[in-house]
Structure 1
Amino acid sequence: MNSKYYLTEVDKVPESIYCYHDLMGETFIEPHIHEKGQFLYTEGGVVHIKTNNRTYYLPARHYMWIPPGIKHAIYPSSPKVIMRNLYFPLTERASIFYKKEGIYPVNNLVMELLLFTKNWNGDIIKSQETKYAIVNAFKALLEQTVPQSLHLELPQPTDRRLIHIIDYLTNHIHQEHLLPELASKFSMTDKSLYRLFKKDLGMSFISYYTQLRVFKSLEYLMNPDYTISEIANMLGYSSLPTFSNTFSKIMGKRPSDYRKSNEIYLVS
């Protein structure tokens, strides 16, 4: 993968719509900014997008819209991840949809147009009438066909104590963590840790921890070698029904149904 294309090529022709499709491999894309809005679609795994204050979990068969001027870094969860990108110039009159970050499922109509572009790379300009008409229609369809943005993101901690605690939770995701035990481990009282989560992240410990586990499960579910029961254990759940019900509340479908709907089908 040419990991520098996004720094040197995307904005080189300001009026162009820029296409880039590739296998991510293990590539980490360092923090950067575009003058164009970015449509980022992924399949084959979960992609983490980190902005200044949030971490987004972009699952397979979904896309993220990243507005112009938003600094972001991209981390693939697997060497099998394929990213498909379209970058669009925007005017001041662009609708609110194109000015806010969001993650959305890909519907069939958007998917069909994306199929047209999968072998295109580089600038598409107005003189390329057929290609330009397709990608321009693609952009217009995004705001016309999307439901509400999915809340597949977690706030970034700013307090140093909380940064260490969340690193610990992430690195020990296979264990179950209760607030009293976690507070004791980091020499805090239950109340002080509870308040720290609410103050720094705007959410309770249990809400953060529950979402962290479910978002981590999205990566495990892409690996067919793991059963749903094994994944529940890998996330510290002692009960498969508890994991399945929690997943359903956040993702809107059961883990088994999510797994079935996420096979790769846009091959390079």
Structure 2
Amino acid sequence: MENYVNRYYITEVDRYPDTIYCHHAVMGEKFIPEHSHRKGQFLYTEGGVVYLNTPEQSYFLPARHYIWIPAGVLHSIHPSTPEVIMRNLYFPVSDSDDVFYARTAIYPVNDLLMELMMFTNRWNGNIRPEDESRYSIAKAFKMLLPELGRDALPLALPYPDDPRLVKIVDYLDKHIADNLGFKHLADRFGISERSLARLFQKELNMSFIQYFTILRMLKGLKLLLDDKLSINEVATKVGYSSLPTFSNTFTKIIGVRPSEYVKHRGLWYS
């Protein structure tokens, strides 16, 4: 595996339209600027948390998960540390592609996918169709994704455009531990509860409760993984007085129990 990301590999991804491009490397830098590919991208990371931004949303990619980025989607990559390892596979677009490949989303990685992905660790660069063995394995990897990734996880938050909501979500981010009610929020920003509810649905396509819950869980995940806090400490810092309630909500949103992250984070981040 390469010791760092040579960002020129990004231009190599689309050099040959019919190849599958494979790239495993330590990032070695704080971010990869906004770019896009003519191929669909499978991205798995280890060694730290990664934020991936598109013009519409900010995605939070934790350990044991991958993100699928459709062809043509502008995105930038921001790791929590330059030591993050990226494992990328880039696939040509096909007319017969499942609708799965048209959506940017995050999915958990199961043992089968992990084994196949680690098998590709010996490859780097273009895998050509005439290299039947490697190409068939890589193509099978892509074809498995819709079958294994039926349930995308909501590990993303959209950006609001309305100036009122920009201020409100910034306030929520800074008061993540507070027991904020909807009425309190409406009164503080001088807007009726009905108008505020409509604003959340129109701008973010989710309710206040949905947004604040996901925000809390993403903050909690960061505290678990980056700050190495205990589950009890994390629950308190994101506003939960009941540990079971926090744990159950975390599991529903993130797809893995917080105890599993605490148990395995040394393995995922060593």
Q: What TM-score do the two structures reach when normalised by structure 1?
A: 0.86
Structure 2 unmatched runs, 5+? none
Rounded Cα–Cα distance in structure 2 between residues aligned with 1:247 and 1:140: 30
Q: Does residue 1:23 correspond to 2:19, yes or no? A: no
Q: Give the structure 1 partner of residue 93 of structure 2.
A: 90
Q: Give the structure 2 partner of residue 66 of structure 1.
A: 69
Identity value in percent: 52
AA partner of residue 164 (structure 1) = K
Rounded Cα–Cα distance in structure 2 between residues aligned with 1:82 and 1:102: 20
**CA RMSD in angstroms, aligned pairs only:** 2.6
The answer to whether the Cα contact below 8 Å between 1:157 and 1:200 also exists between their aligned partners in 2 is yes
Match of 2:228 among 225, 228, 231: 225
Q: Paired residues, what number?
A: 267
Judged with a 3 Å threshold, the aligned counterparts in structure 2 of structure 1 residues 190 and 104 are, in CA distance, closer, same or farther, namely same
After TM superposition, give the deviation of residue 124 of structure 1 in Å.
1.8
The answer to whether the Cα contact below 8 Å between 1:44 and 1:222 also exists between their aligned partners in 2 is no
After TM superposition, give the deviation of residue 256 of structure 1 in Å.
0.9
Q: Give the structure 2 partner of residue 143 of structure 1.
A: 146
The answer to whether the Cα contact below 8 Å between 1:115 and 1:266 also exists between their aligned partners in 2 is no
Q: Does residue 1:259 correspond to 2:262, yes or no? A: yes
After TM superposition, give the deviation of residue 197 of structure 1 in Å.
1.3
Q: Does residue 1:183 correspond to 2:186, yes or no? A: yes
Judged with a 3 Å threshold, the aligned counterparts in structure 2 of structure 1 residues 192 and 265 are, in CA distance, closer, same or farther, namely closer
Q: Give the structure 1 partner of residue 168 of structure 2.
A: 165
Q: Deviations over 1:208-252 (max 9, x none)?
A: 001111122122222473111111122233333332232133234
Match of 2:247 among 239, 244, 247: 244
Rounded Cα–Cα distance in structure 1 between residues aligned with 2:29 and 2:183: 37
Q: Does residue 1:197 correspond to 2:234, yes or no? A: no
The answer to whether the Cα contact below 8 Å between 1:58 and 1:64 also exists between their aligned partners in 2 is yes
The answer to whether the Cα contact below 8 Å between 1:45 and 1:77 also exists between their aligned partners in 2 is yes
Rounded Cα–Cα distance in structure 2 between residues aligned with 1:243 and 1:152: 16
Judged with a 3 Å threshold, the aligned counterparts in structure 2 of structure 1 residues 256 and 265 are, in CA distance, closer, same or farther, namely closer
Q: What TM-score do the two structures reach when normalised by structure 2?
A: 0.86
After TM superposition, give the deviation of residue 266 of structure 1 in Å.
9.2
After TM superposition, give the deviation of residue 198 of structure 1 in Å.
2.2
Rounded Cα–Cα distance in structure 1 between residues aligned with 2:187 and 2:195: 11
Q: How does 1:206-221 map to 2 (within 5 A)?
A: 206-221=209-224
After TM superposition, give the deviation of residue 185 of structure 1 in Å.
3.9
Rounded Cα–Cα distance in structure 1 between residues aligned with 2:180 and 2:32: 32
